[in-house]
Structure 1
Amino acid sequence: MKVAITGAARGIGLATARALKAKGATVVIGDIDEEAVKKAAAELGVRGVKLDVTDRESFTNFLAEAGDYDVLINNAGIMPIGPVLGETDDDARRCFDINVHGVMLGTKLALEKFVPAGRGHVVNIASLAGVLPTPGLALYNGSKAAVVIFSEATRQEVKKHGVHVSVVMPSFTNTELIAGTRSPKGQKNCEPEDIAAAVVSVIARPRPQTTVPAKFAAQIALMGLIPQKVKDLVSHRLGLDTIFLEFDHGARKSYDERIRS
């Protein structure tokens, strides 16, 4: 099996590359940070390629480097946080260009190969934020909600061709994306390796959606039956209503500068 992974110089993408290589897969990783992706690739013993997921030529070249790949994992993403009125137009465009259009572009390019062949698997890394709106996370919520719906609609469209499309929705994960924030009360953060294990599982046994931790799947399914006042109360008790509004700007500075560069 040959797998191409975007945004894989660090975090979930890197952990996933490591997990798949350990399973015997041939892995090619891409990332906008050329120095970081080359270093990560050298450490893993895989091929690393500079990749801008917002650019068709760059994405096409990346997939050409991956050769006869069987799986594309669209993992690249950024997470600006803070109040809606603090979100700049540039932040909004960049977030959607990477998180949404990057996923759409990668998916379409992969399907151009997979559909005629009658096989292949696209795995899109979304987030529980795509189904659980949270104050201070509106921009990211919107982008990941788009990934969830896009992935499901695409899955329904191409399943008749023998092609799989899956979406993986992690909860709070210990990566740079949550720098400077705190965890919800009573909740233990996931590790990148937890998400990687879920991706390995969904490739081995394709299914439309996977949540990490898995226990959240039932809760999400029941969300439509819960009155909004109850949802708001639970959010407040868990501290979700302030986590992305009251955070350590200093601890987040490095990440914020990198995603805006």
Structure 2
Amino acid sequence: MAKQPKVLAGQVAAITGGARGIGRAMAYAFVRQGMRVAIGDLDVEAARRTAEEIGSGTVAFELNVTDRGSIERFADDVERELGPIDVFVNNAGIMQLSRFLDEDDATAHRMVDINLHGVLYGMKVVLPRMVARNRGHVVNVASQAGKFGFAGGATYSATKFAVVGASESVRQELRLMGADGVALSVVMPAIVNTELGGGLNKPVGQKDIQPEDVADATVEALQTGRFDVWVPRDNQRIYAASGLLPRRVRETLSRAMKADRPLWGVDEGRRRAYELRAAQSEPGLEPGQEPVALTAGERAAED
């Protein structure tokens, strides 16, 4: 007999990077399930506006995920306002794109600090609380760039591979510790219609994915305990099947479907506002240089 989906009503959820995009959609989805929600974001004014729009007692706090102390304060604030955290979503992340050889070091450090260390700090802060109660669920938002490395986003892909790997390892540690009441999921969406996903190239046949689709898949994972959360789910079968093929065949098929360049040759005009905002998203670092734009001739030569 299949397990009944877990009832989420009354649970406390905390979401990092919750002011916009996927985090915002998750906050709405959680509230629809009857959960009490807190969102944290570096842009605290945007977080407060989002919380007010959502209503239903949603609260917002300033959060810098590159600072473990800030995450500690966020968790303390959430538990003081709403009660013990049942669900913690490590969602905050940025994606700055360029050819790897053109990427400046400040940009690389920024992505590693936010996308990877932010997730590691989040788990280190909340998991001891959950393990002590033997209750809770951590959701790490990665990407399908954490399963397939993509040209134009080498460092971004590296951070997401690391998030998937860390999630796998921590899940095993929880099992070996006997913390059977604590679950972990890793969410891996393809290109999502958000500011972060703007101007990218969809592979042939790839459906439009909205933030709400990722939020709904996350709700299902919380209800069922699913670890691998692919959005869309069909891509998991593609990944499994491609692993049976020789690399040369995989790469030939990928080129034929234009699945090798979602982050390559992107629409820089559409991404400019996002890239500039992302460059300011780690207060401890100076903004990196803007990605070097290829000329039409250089693009043609490389294509």
* Same-fold call, TM cutoff 0.5: yes
CA contact (8 A) 1:130 1:142 kept: yes
Give the distance between the partners of 2:257 and 2:243, measured in 1 at CA.
19
- Aligned amino acid, residue 18 of structure 2: A
Q: Which residue of 1 aligns with 2:21?
A: 11
Q: Which of residues 247, 253, 257 in structure 1 aligns to 2:276?
A: 257
CA deviation after TM superposition for structure 1 residue 222, in Å: 2.8
Q: Distance in 1 between matches of 2:156 and 2:250?
A: 20
Using the TM superposition, give the Cα deviation of residue 111 of structure 1 relative to its aligned residue in structure 2, in angstroms.
0.8
Q: Which amino acid aligns with 1:58?
A: S
Q: Could you tell me the TM-score, scaled by structure 1's length?
A: 0.97
Residue aligning to 2:46: 36
Q: Which ranges of 4 or more aligned residues in structure 1 deviate by more than 4 Å?
A: none
- Per the alignment, residue 56 of structure 1 pairs with 68
- State the identity %: 43
- For these two proteins, the number of residue pairs brought into alignment is 261
CA contact (8 A) 2:21 2:195 kept: yes
- What runs of 5+ residues in structure 1 fail to find an aligned partner? none
Mapped partners of 1:63, 1:113: distance in 2: 10
Contact 1:8 1:29 in 2 (8 A): yes
The answer to whether the aligner puts 1:103 opposite 2:115 as a matched pair is no
> Structure 1 or 2: larger helix share?
1
Corresponding letter in the other structure for 1:80? Q
1:174 is matched with which residue? 193
- Report the CA distance between 1:234 and its aligned residue: 1.9
- 2:179 counterpart of 1:161: yes
Alpha-carbon distance between aligned partners in 1 of 2:190 and 2:18, rounded to the nearest angstrom: 19
Separation in structure 2 between the aligned mates of residue 16 and residue 217 of structure 1, nearest angstrom: 22
Helix, strand or coil at the partner of 1:167: strand
The unaligned stretches of length 5 or more in structure 2 are 1-10, 281-303
- Is the CA contact 2:201–2:261 (under 8 Å) kept in the aligned structure 1? no
Could you tell me how far apart the structure 2 residues matched to 1:133 and 1:142 are?
8
The answer to whether 1:133 aligns with 2:152 is: no
Quote the Cα distance in structure 2 between the aligned partners of 1:63 and 1:220: 36
The one-character-per-residue Cα deviations of 1:158-184 (angstroms, maximum 9, x if unpaired) are: 132121111011111101112222321
Match of 2:251 among 232, 237, 249: 232
Question: Hey, what's the Cα distance between the residues in 2 that align with 1:123 and 1:51?
Answer: 17
How far did 1:5 drift?
A: 0.4
- Following superposition, the deviation at residue 86 of structure 1 comes to 1.5
Q: CA deviation at 1:250?
A: 1.6
Cα distance in 2 between the residues matched to 1:161 and 1:27: 24
